[in-house]
Amino acid sequence: MLCGSKINMDLLFMKMNYFFAWGAYAPVVPFFTTIGKQRGYSAFAMGITLTGMQIPSVVVRPVIGIVTDRYQCRKSIFLIGEVLLAIAVLGLIFIPGATAPESIADEIVFETSLYWVFFFLLFFFYLGSTMRSLMEDTICVSLLGDNVHEYGHQVVWGAIGFGISSMVSGVVVDWFSKGRDHNDFRPGFVITIVCVAFDIYVSAKIKVKQVEKTENFNGDMKRVLTDFRVIVFIIATISFGFFYTFIQYFLFWYFEDITNLYHPEYEPYIKTIQGFSQTIQCFLGEVPFFFISSYIIKKLGHMNVFSLGFVFFAIRFGLYSIIKNPVVALSVELLHGITFALPYSAGVAYTAKLAPVGAEGMMQGFYGMAMKGIGIPMGNFVGGYIIKNLGIIDAFRIFSIGSLTVCIVVSITNLIVNRMYKSENNVVQTS
């Protein structure tokens, strides 16, 4: 090797894992709501659907973290999650491709057997992704050890994989949908299956090392979970998940609505536009900010990074509410690095810093539970209801005001708590 350096093969495989895993998500996750929309399901029906499939992770994430910490089985759960995800996508490929010219009444939707097949396929997809993503981050921070601040340098490869896969899947879906009165999402699902197959091969090569719990484990956990700074962090994480869901699940709904209302000439290319929005998010948003996340987190602090994210959520939602051209709206995706990559990296790194020895999985489970088990389901339910009743444009105006309000509340609370702990520490040192 040049310069006498040695490649850490486990971290290399970890980077490859992120690349293929996130690449597998790209043709499916952002399209969830538009797949449902094509079937005639309203925004509220899809909000309930996404909420229902995500709520179990409130229990699943911490339980998996506890079980894998105790029984030293992180890699097994990791691989089982990937297999479950692949089975769900195979089901999506073969489920009848129902379409509806207009929205179907919600009460009718929930009475059809086809809806429930669709729901449970999404449920098992999310369950598999929950199992593997929790173990993925836990294994990654364990491999990094004292260099956990370099987490962004690993996960950036996930952004690269997501960006490439989303663009390719958007193009192939438009290509295979030519001449049809609906979009054929199956080519994208095939891309997901291929990425999962490569990911399973790569993940199997990662050597997982787990540390035994310390004797003071229970006391350490109680101290962490009752720390007011941690409580503020959890609240910020829930809020982060709440607002992020509008980007992850309803952005494509926004692109389709403004295209149908104001620029129908773009309809034949809508999946390409949607896929390209993800590519911009990843390559011009996430990639640079994942690389510099370590520097920014050190300079600003973990919680200040969250506050910065909420400010830019407000700006981002505000821009969506005034832009009516889907091509122009693509420029807003440049903000994705500040509204996702930075706060997500800060959350994983801060959780790893707080975790007692041997409880890394449990703590990452609590972080994931707050963001993906509470925040995102709440966002789906509330977002779906508001979008159905007010429309996507007015919804984004409300989300913008809400994000700015949360930023102010979290920033002030964090400042008060930090000053309180600083005063307590000064008293202890002088006594």
What's the pLDDT tens digit per position in 105-137?
A: 999 999 999 999 999 999 999 999 988 888 888
Which one-letter amino acid corresponds to residue 247? Answer: I
Q: Which residues contact 175 (CB under 8 A, 6 or more apart)?
A: 187
User: Apex CA 270: angle with CA 199 and CA 165, to 5°?
Assistant: 15
Q: Read off the pLDDT of residues 289-325 as tens digits, 9 standing for 90 and up.
A: 999 998 999 999 889 999 999 999 999 999 999 999 9
Instruction: Give the sign of the dihedral formed by CA 241, CA 247, CA 252, CA 255.
Output: positive
Residue with tokens 């179990």: 56
Q: What is the length of the chain?
A: 431
What is this structure's pTM?
A: 0.84
Separation of alpha carbons 394 and 388, rounded Å? 11
Q: Pick the closest to residue 99 from 156, 169, 181, 171 (CA basis).
A: 181
CA distance 384 to 33: 10
Question: What dihedral do alpha carbons 19, 149, 349, 202 form, nearest 10°?
Answer: 30
Work out the pLDDT band at 428, boundaries 50, 70, 90: very low
pLDDT of residue 1: 39
Q: How far apart are CA 189 and CA 187, in angstroms?
A: 5
- Domain 9-208+218-423: which CATH class? mainly alpha
